[in-house]
Structure 1
Amino acid sequence: MDETRLRRELREAARAHRPDHARILARVERGMAAPAPAGRRTRSPRPSAGRRRVVVLAVTAAVAGVVGIGGLAVTTRDDRPAGPATTLPAPGPTARATGTVDPGSNRWWAQSDLAVTTGSPLAGLTVELRIARTPGVASTGHWRTRPAEDFTVTVTAEPRALVYRWTLKPGRPVPPGSHTFAGQYNHAEGVRDASADTYDIVLTGTDGGRTTLRGGFGPRGN
């Protein structure tokens, strides 16, 4: 049998071989522990035997490489470190909002009420009420049902809207329930169109989840 064919057949046998690692290890340990036979002479290998030994050693190394690679693949698959965890955002608080023009409004003055109902405690809350700049609109005040010291309040006259903004201060929780925020303003005499008035609310739960509510006040006006 020529050397090339011998290599091919040994390589195929190595691929198909499934070694018993426990038995191999036991045999190696027994061989290492056994004493060398006394009085045995060592003969120099013949050239042809040396060539065959090189072939066998090469194939043995190839087999060991296949076994080693296989073991490494298993170890890598079983012991590989976990990839970076994907953290999903927490669900936002359950809430709803309703914007209405207060029935106590009149032909020169109005109050826009924004009722915010929450189903769980809040750690953060920002309420923005935008009153469109119709003729004569000017702020006359504001209020809310939550304690005044819990919020930072600003009123800003922008080119297109009068903006009321309530921002909950850090460390001031809001309990579940219904909470009202109101903006008061004068306007030109007559029935004021409130269809362009809007609100924007951002609620943050105690677990960091956020909910955003947006809406308007409809066509009703005073």
Structure 2
Amino acid sequence: MEDLKRRLRDAAAAHEPDRDGMLVRVRSGTSPHPRPDRRASGPLSWPRVTLATLAATAVLLAGGYAITATVDSGGTGREAATAPETPAPLSSADGAPAPSAPAPSAPAAPPRTQDGPVQSDGAVDPHGNPYWSQSNITLRTGAALGALTLEVRIAQTGGVASTGAWRTLPEGDFTLTTTDGDGTLTYRWTLKPGRTVPPGRHVFAVQYNHAPGPRAAAADAYAATVGTTRGQQYAVTGTFRAAAGPAG
């Protein structure tokens, strides 16, 4: 009996308890969720964790998102993806919104010197002088006209004043008015009711003084509207070619 007691005392003295194993067993027994067995998939090393994190970050960044770190109420760190802010509109130096570019204006309509049977031409007469000029409008029509209105505008380039007007058609067939205002000398012929213009070539001329020296006619223009005896309506417009001679 004494020998058995001695052997038990020696075994007890030589025993060293496995504290770590005991703690693991205690925790496994108290946790509501059993710990998964990682031996099937093997341990997850730090290099694998790092590569997975970088891959997830790259996907978020490529989609235009930013990574922000947050901490929940349990003290566990987590990451959340937030959408990028909408960029603010461009502004001027003083902070005001930049004005939009103005829409381009529509180009001016080019002269229309033919419409149906009606043709027109404008030119500065070469027989003028440094103080006086004449501008001619030639109308050609292939049909008889029962209505005609011709307006001629001579820009006020300095000293411009009317000295008269004439036409190859009968004077009594037209009403002529001359006005001077808003920087323009305007002549207007109107065919009287009941009168007609026969087919052919017809010339209308306006005469005016101007400041000494050659005069530029670039801003001068004419417009005619006509109606045939059959009821068709036509319109022509144009400017004046410069005189061939040295005088304005």
Corresponding letter in the other structure for 2:226: L
Aligned partners of 2:195 and 2:128: how far apart in 1?
Answer: 32
Aligned partners of 1:219 and 1:204: how far apart in 2?
Answer: 30
Aligned partners of 2:198 and 2:180: how far apart in 1?
Answer: 31
Deviation of residue 158 (structure 1)? Answer: 2.0
Aligned partners of 1:197 and 1:112: how far apart in 2?
Answer: 9
Tell me if 1:172 matches 2:195. yes
* Counterpart for residue 206 of structure 1: 229
Corresponding letter in the other structure for 2:165: H
Tell me if 1:136 matches 2:159. yes
1:127–1:201 contact (8 Å) kept in structure 2: yes
Q: 1:1-222 alignment to 2 at 5 Å?
A: 93-220=116-243, 222=248
Aligned partners of 1:140 and 1:165: how far apart in 2?
Answer: 15
Deviation of residue 155 (structure 1)? Answer: 0.4
Deviation of residue 206 (structure 1)? Answer: 1.0
Aligned partners of 1:103 and 1:156: how far apart in 2?
Answer: 25
* Counterpart for residue 73 of structure 1: none
Q: 3-state DSSP class of the match of 2:172? A: helix
1:154–1:166 contact (8 Å) kept in structure 2: yes
Over aligned residue pairs, what C-alpha RMSD do you find? 1.3
Larger RCO: 1 or 2 (CA < 8 Å, sep 6+): 1
Q: 3-state DSSP class of the match of 2:198? A: coil
TM-score of the aligned structures, taking structure 2 as reference length = 0.51
Aligned partners of 1:125 and 1:149: how far apart in 2?
Answer: 14
Q: 3-state DSSP class of the match of 1:100? A: strand
Q: 3-state DSSP class of the match of 1:207? A: coil
- The unaligned stretches of length 5 or more in structure 1 are 1-91
Structure (1 or 2) with the greater helix fraction: 1
Tell me the percent identity.
Answer: 50
Deviation of residue 160 (structure 1)? Answer: 2.1
TM-score of the aligned structures, taking structure 1 as reference length = 0.57
Deviation beyond 6 Å, 4+ runs, structure 1: none
